[in-house]
Amino acid sequence: MSAFSLARFLAIARKEFVQMRRERLTFAMIVGVPILQLVLFGYAINTDPRNLPTAVVDHDRSAFSRSLVQAVVNTGYFRIVAAPDAEGDAERLLERGDVQFVVVVPPGFARALQRGERPAVLVAADATDPSATGNAIAALAALGGAALRHDLDGALAPLAPAPAPIEVRVHRRYNPEGVTQFNIVPGLLGVIMTMTMVMMTAFAMTRERERGTFESLLATPATPFEVMTGKIVPYIAVGFVQATIILGAAKALFAVPMLGSLALLFGCLALYIAALLALGFTISTVARSQLQAMQMTFFFFLPSMLLSGFMFPYRGMPGWAQALGEVFPLTHFLRIVRGVLLKGNGAAETWPHVWPIAAFMLVAGAVAMLRYRRTLD
């Protein structure tokens, strides 16, 4: 065996650098993934969300109730976005996920306060994600004694010392015990589907191209739409099997409540799987190898998981990150599955998150058919 040759070593190393330069997708992953992770973790990830959307139902409409609402806003955790007249309207906003909190000031609040009766203020919190509401609820605990401190002067000064002049009652809706599994386990359904469905479909076409069987497919009279649907439909059945296993384990192992209609959930799941498979087919028309297909799948999966609200509170992210997260179908599917299972949402509450998934599917499918080639050129 010949001795180590520096010239041969340098020649092979030079060849690898040239190959890396030619593989533009690989080079983009080397540069793009660290930048993407830095931006997302540095700017978009926030475990202490503030300015959470809040609805206020003020039945009293007094100076004291206005001071109380302002004190809630001054904590920095709440942002008043709606002021419905009826509690039922506020409840519907909470069910749809339009608001995170509902503050209800009872009628006769000022009169009861002046009599020293410690009136109770009701705060309903959407606790499906305990990490998103934990700090805000903790801020409410100290609100009772400080909210009206500046209003209780003169003859009302004796009401200011402990105990607090008002009582703040917090009702954690949909997950009263703050069980993390009730939030994570349903979300895993969407995450697992995103990872497996996109990758399997992307590999299906690139595998045929690498094995040389793609030529036989091109020789058939099948149209691009027939090829795409033929590739997608079998994997929809696979997705349903996966979903059944995940939901069964969620119920048996973690006692996740399933309050809504499973038929509605599986209908939305079929649409979600179709959207992911359409994306996977699009990736397969771009990638020339299974390695490239895996790289492109990962480049989609990483921001999708980080910006969807699965790992970190969605409303803790800055506005631009929330806008970007709305593009990913996982963001909307997480709201669907958590809403159906934990809140018992129906079709009316689910629809605002169904049509974005359908739009994503149509766009991905159209791009896939436009890029599909009936020749090897």
Percentage of the residues of the chain whose pLDDT score is greater than 70: 84
Q: For residues 214 and 231, which has the higher predicted lDDT (pLDDT)?
A: 231
In a domain, 35, yes or no: no
Among 153, 173, 193, identify where a domain stops.
173
Same domain, 205 and 154: no
Q: Residue 158 pLDDT more than 70?
A: no
The CA distance from 275 to 340, in Å, is: 20
Same domain, 130 and 198: no
56 pLDDT band, cuts 50/70/90, is very high
Same domain, 156 and 248: no
Among 173, 193, 222, identify where a domain stops.
173
Same domain, 184 and 204: yes
Displacement of CA 295 from its chain's centroid (Å): 22
Q: Residue 375 pLDDT more than 50?
A: no
Same domain, 163 and 186: no
Percentage of the residues of the chain whose pLDDT score is greater than 90: 19
156-170: average pLDDT = 65
DSSP string of 137-181, one letter each residue: HHHHHTHHHHTTTTT--GGGGGGSSSSPSSEEEEEEES-TT--HH
86 DSSP assignment = S
Residues paired with residue 101 on neighbouring β-strands, in sequence order: 54, 125
Displacement of CA 72 from its chain's centroid (Å): 26
Structure-token pair, residue 236: 């929809």
Among 173, 199, 219, identify where a domain stops.
173
Same domain, 196 and 165: no
In a domain, 263, yes or no: yes
Lowest mean pLDDT, pick from 11-20, 50-59, 293-302: 11-20
Q: Residue 240 pLDDT more than 80?
A: yes
80, 146, 158, 245, 323 from 313: Cα distances, Å: 19, 28, 41, 27, 14
The CA distance from 345 to 339, in Å, is: 5
In a domain, 249, yes or no: yes
pLDDT for the residue 147: 57
Same domain, 154 and 185: no
| Among the listed residues 17, 16, 26, 32, the one whose alpha carbon sits nearest the alpha carbon of residue 295 | 26
Structure-token pair, residue 83: 């002021």
The CA distance from 136 to 218, in Å, is: 59
Q: Which helix (H) or strand (E) holds 82?
A: strand 78-82
Same domain, 227 and 124: no
**Residue bearing tokens 């009730």:** 182
| Among the listed residues 29, 32, 76, 78, the one whose alpha carbon sits nearest the alpha carbon of residue 55 | 78
The CA distance from 72 to 136, in Å, is: 10
Strand order from edge to edge, sheet including 52-58 = 78-82, 52-58, 101-105, 120-126, 167-173
In a domain, 188, yes or no: yes
CATH number at 86 reads: 3.40.1710.10
HSE at residue 96, side-chain half, CA atoms within 13 A, is 18
Same domain, 149 and 229: no
Residues 6+ away with beta carbon under 8 Å from 265: 336, 337, 340, 341
| Among the listed residues 356, 236, 240, the one whose alpha carbon sits nearest the alpha carbon of residue 308 | 356
Same domain, 86 and 202: no
The CA distance from 60 to 67, in Å, is: 12
pLDDT tens digits along 307-349: 888 888 888 888 888 888 899 999 999 999 999 999 989 898 8
Alpha helices (H) in the chain, listed in sequence order? 6-22, 24-39, 63-74, 87-96, 109-114, 130-141, 143-146, 180-211, 214-219, 224-254, 262-286, 290-307, 319-325, 329-338, 347-371
The CA distance from 207 to 156, in Å, is: 79
Phi/psi of residue 202, each to 5°?
-65, -35
pLDDT for the residue 112: 86
Same domain, 300 and 188: yes
State how many domains the chain has. Answer: 2
In a domain, 366, yes or no: yes
Residues paired with residue 79 on neighbouring β-strands, in sequence order: 53
Phi/psi of residue 301, each to 5°?
-70, -40
The CA distance from 211 to 206, in Å, is: 9
In a domain, 5, yes or no: no
In a domain, 40, yes or no: no
Residues 6+ away with beta carbon under 8 Å from 133: 52, 100, 101, 125, 126, 127, 172
pTM score of the predicted model:
0.81
Same domain, 284 and 200: yes
In a domain, 100, yes or no: yes
* Residue 244: domain span: 180-371
* Max Cα distance, the chain (Å): 101
